[in-house]
């Protein structure tokens, strides 16, 4: 009995040690920062995506499936933070201007939380339901996929075309007759 109680004590000690190794979440203090910015957004795509996952394996009894739909607003344009007089070669007397802009990039991607809907979820056999963190991880992959595919859909080309049109219109309004816009 004595040996048995010693064994139990040892087990309890090891269990406590393991419990002590749990992932602790550090309490962080709130962080905030207000800064200046210089981005010129020229096109906005509104896209819809079905985010789906099928979690099944021969090693697991039962499977899990989930389907979300989400709407994303993606804005693209040019970052003007490095824009300076060197980017403009203007001759007012001749009425000509050559403007060099940076290439367009994605400026913001918004997935409004109220536009994310879980449409279907199925859990069978000895499987647990999806946890909120697992769902978030799936939606994060969906977000990354949206960014990659929107770029393939030509959002950056549209942004550059619109930027070029807007800059040309602005310079024409300022009195320049021949305006050339380049991207580098």
Partner 1 sequence: MMSRFDSIMKLLRILAVLALAVVLLLALDRISKIGEKSIFSRSTLKIEDTPVVLEKISDIGELATACYYDEDIYLTSKLTEITGPVGLIASAVGRNPSKDDLVIIARGTVKAGFDMGGISLDDVTVRNDSLFVTLPRPKILSVTVNPSDYEIIGGNNSWSQREVSGLVGHARNMILKNALDNGIYSRAESSGKVKVREFLEACGFRNIVVSVAEE
Q: How far is the CB of 58 from partner 1 (least distance, A)?
A: 13
**164 touching partner 1, by CB under 8 A:** no
Pick the binder of partner 1 from 138, 168, 172, 180 (CB under 8 A). Answer: 138
**179 touching partner 1, by CB under 8 A:** no
Residue 115, token pair as written in the block: 């536009």
For the segment 25-54, give every residue that binds partner 1 (CB under 8 A).
Answer: 25, 27-28, 30-54
For the segment 52-91, give every residue that binds partner 1 (CB under 8 A).
Answer: 52-55, 68, 71, 73, 75, 77, 80, 83-88, 90
Q: At residue 170, what are phi and psi to the nearest 5 degrees?
A: -65, -45
Q: Which residue has the tokens 């001759």?
A: 91
Nearest to partner 1 of 103, 120 (CB atom): 120
* Residues whose CB is less than 8 angstroms from the CB of residue 172 and which lie 6 or more positions away in sequence, other chains included: 179
Residue span 93-112 as binding mask against partner 1, x where in contact by CB under 8 A, dash where not:
----x---------xxxxxx
Residue 61, token pair as written in the block: 């009894």
Burial (CB < 10 A; 0-12, 13-18, 19+), residue 155, is: buried
């Amino acid at each position: 009995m004595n040996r048995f109680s010693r064994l139990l004590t040892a087990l309890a000690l090891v269990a406590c040690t393991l419990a002590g190794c749990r992932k602790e979440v550090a309490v962080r203090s709130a962080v905030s920062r207000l800064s200046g910015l210089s981005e010129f957004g020229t096109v906005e795509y509104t896209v819809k995506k079905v985010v789906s996952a099928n979690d099944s394996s021969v090693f697991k009894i039962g499977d899990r499936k989930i389907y979300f739909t989400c709407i994303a607003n993606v804005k693209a344009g040019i970052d003007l933070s490095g824009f300076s007089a060197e980017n403009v070669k203007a001759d007012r007397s001749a009425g000509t201007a050559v403007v060099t802009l940076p290439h367009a990039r994605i400026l913001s991607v918004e997935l409004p939380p109220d536009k994310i809907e879980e449409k279907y979820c199925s859990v069978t056999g000895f499987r647990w339901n999806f946890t909120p963190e697992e769902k978030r991880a799936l939606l994060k992959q969906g977000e990354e996929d949206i960014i990659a595919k929107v770029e393939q859909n030509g959002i950056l080309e549209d942004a550059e075309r619109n930027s070029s049109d807007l800059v040309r219109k602005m310079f024409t309004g300022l009195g320049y007759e021949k305006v050339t816009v380049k991207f580098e």
